[in-house]
Amino acid sequence: MPDHAMRILFLDCAPFHGGAQESLRTLIQDLHDQGVAMQLVAADHSPDGLLDDARQRGLPVHAIRARHWPANINGLWQFLHDRRSCGKSIAAAIAEFAPTIIHANGLRAAMLLSPRLARGLNVVIHDRDLRAPAGLAGWLAGRLAPRVVAISGAVAKKWSQLPPGRLSVIPNGFDLDAIAATPPAATPFPADAVVVTIAADFIAWKQHRLLLDAIALLRPQRPALRVVIRGRARDPQGEALLAELRRHNTHLRLDDIVLFVTEPGPALPWIAATDVLAAMATAEPFGRTPIEALALGKVVVACSGAGHSEVLADCPAATLCAAEPAAVANALAHWVDDAQRRAAVADTARAHAARYSLRAHSKAMRELFQSLPQGKLSPP
C-alpha cells in the first residue's frame, strides 16, 4: 500500500500508561515524523500519556472510557458495557478519519472491535500478552481475520490457528537515545551504595516477593546493598499486594535498606540510578525494563522464561536464573560484588539494546502496513 493511501487508526483501551502504551507512543511518534496519516482512539488520560502526547503533535484523537476488565463475571459485565459505549466513539472516529488500517494495541483493544466496525478495513492486532483467556485468540481470529504482530516468539504461540502469512514476530522498539539521556533519580542512599532495582507494577506475576527473599540472603555480608522497588498499584488487588510486600519486607528486617517508590511518574530515572536491574517474572511477554536498563549501560538479572529467555539469552551483561531465592541471590551476587565487572560490560549492554531500536521496529511495522491489501478483505 503506498504511503499516501495508508491511513492508520490506532486503538488502545488501557486506562493507564504502562509498557504497552509506551511502546505504542514511540511507534506513533516515529511514524508521525515520517508523515504517515494517523488517528488515535485511546483511554489513557494520564498526564503525558497517549492522548496528551497525540494532542501535542496535532493528531486527531478520540478519548474513550474503558476499564481494565478483571477475568471474572464482573469483568465480563464491564467489558460488555464498555464495548457498547466505546463502539460509538470508534465508529465516529472511523467515519471521520476513513482509515484503511485499524491497529489494535493488544488483545483487549481488539475485543472492542466488531466485524461491523472493521468491515472493509485491514485489522492489525499488536499482541503484547503472553497469557489470554482460553479461546480468545481463536475468537478474535474468526471475527476479524486480522494480521497479528507478536512482540516475541513466546507470544506468537497462541496464534497457531492463523492462516499462513498472517502472523509476524516483530520485537518491541526503543528510543535508545532518549533512554540513554535519562537523568538518574535522586535516592536517599549513601554514595557507596550498590543499588538493586525492580521496576514493575504491583501485579502478582511480577514476583516482587522473590526479590525480597533473595535480598534477605544477600544482605548479611553486604552492608552497602540497597534496594528500590518501583511500581504502581493499579487497582485494589495491587494495593493489597503492595501492603503484603511491605509486611513481608518488615518481617525480613529489610526496612532500612529497601525503598518503595509508588508515586506516579516514569520508572526510567530509577533504572538510571541503579547498579543492577532485577526482573523476576517468568511469564514476561517481552521484557521492556531489561532492555531499558541495558540501553543505560546497566546489568540485568532476570528469571528465565518466555520473553526474558528470548531477548537476554546471549547478552554478556545479563544473567538468567531460576525463579527461586538462592538462584536469584547467586546471580545478583555475581554483579553486586564486583563494580569493575559491571563497568566492563556497560558498552556490551548498550550494544545488545541496540538490537531493539525504534528505527528497526518502525521500519518493520511500516513494511507490514504497506504490504496490506487496499481493497476490502474477505468477510471474517
pLDDT, residue 59, reads: 86
Q: What is the pLDDT of residues 75-104, one digit of tens each?
A: 889 888 988 999 999 999 999 999 999 999
Considering its fold, how many domains does the chain have in total? 2
Q: Strand order of the sheet with strand 276-279? A: 258-261, 225-230, 194-199, 276-279, 299-303, 318-321
Give the ranges where the chain is alpha helix by DSSP (H).
Answer: 19-33, 50-56, 73-97, 107-111, 115-118, 136-144, 153-156, 176-180, 208-218, 236-251, 268-272, 288-295, 306-311, 325-336, 339-344, 346-353, 358-371
Ranges under pLDDT 70 in the chain: 1-4, 374-380
CATH number at residue 156: 3.40.50.2000
Both 184 and 289 in one domain: the answer is yes
Same domain membership, residue 117 and residue 33: yes
Assess if residue 379 is contained within a domain.
no
Q: Is residue 286 part of a domain?
A: yes
What residues are paired with 279 via a beta bridge?
Answer: 302
Q: Give the global pTM.
A: 0.89
Q: Are 36 and 366 in contact, with CB atoms under 8 Å apart?
A: yes
In a domain, 376, yes or no: no
**Do 137 and 225 have their domain in common?**
no
Q: Is residue 209 part of a domain?
A: yes
Residue 377 lies in a domain: no
Helix (H) or strand (E) holding 167: strand 167-169
pLDDT at 27: 93
Indicate whether 91 and 211 sit together in one domain.
no
> Are residues 211 and 346 both part of a single domain?
yes
- Does 380 reside within a domain? no
Helices vs. strands in the chain: H and E counts, helices first: 17, 13
Q: How far apart are CA 350 and CA 325, in angstroms?
A: 28
Query: Closest Cα partner for 131 from 110, 107, 113?
Result: 107
Backbone angles phi, psi at 54, to 5 degrees: -65, -40
* pLDDT given at position 374: 60
Same domain, 54 and 192: no
pLDDT in tens, 281-337: 999 999 999 999 999 999 999 999 999 999 999 999 999 999 999 999 999 999 999
Within this chain, do residues 201 and 230 fall inside the same structural domain, yes or no? yes
Answer yes or no: do 191 and 275 share one domain.
yes
Residues 37 and 69 both lie in one domain: yes
235 and 296 part of one domain: yes
Helix axis angle for 346-353 and 288-295, nearest 10°, is 130
Residues 229 and 366 in one domain: no
Q: Which domain holds residue 83?
A: 3-173+357-371
The closest alpha carbon to 180, from 268, 277, 278, belongs to 268
* Domain shared by 53 and 135, yes or no: yes
Asked if the structure places residue 64 within a domain, the reply is yes
Q: Is residue 312 part of a domain?
A: yes
On whether the CB atoms of residues 247 and 287 are closer than 8 A, the answer is no
Residue 250 backbone dihedrals phi, psi, to 5 degrees: -65, -40
Tell me the HSE value of 226 on the side-chain side, using a 13 A CA sphere.
18
Q: Which three cell numbers stand for residue 79?
A: 467489558
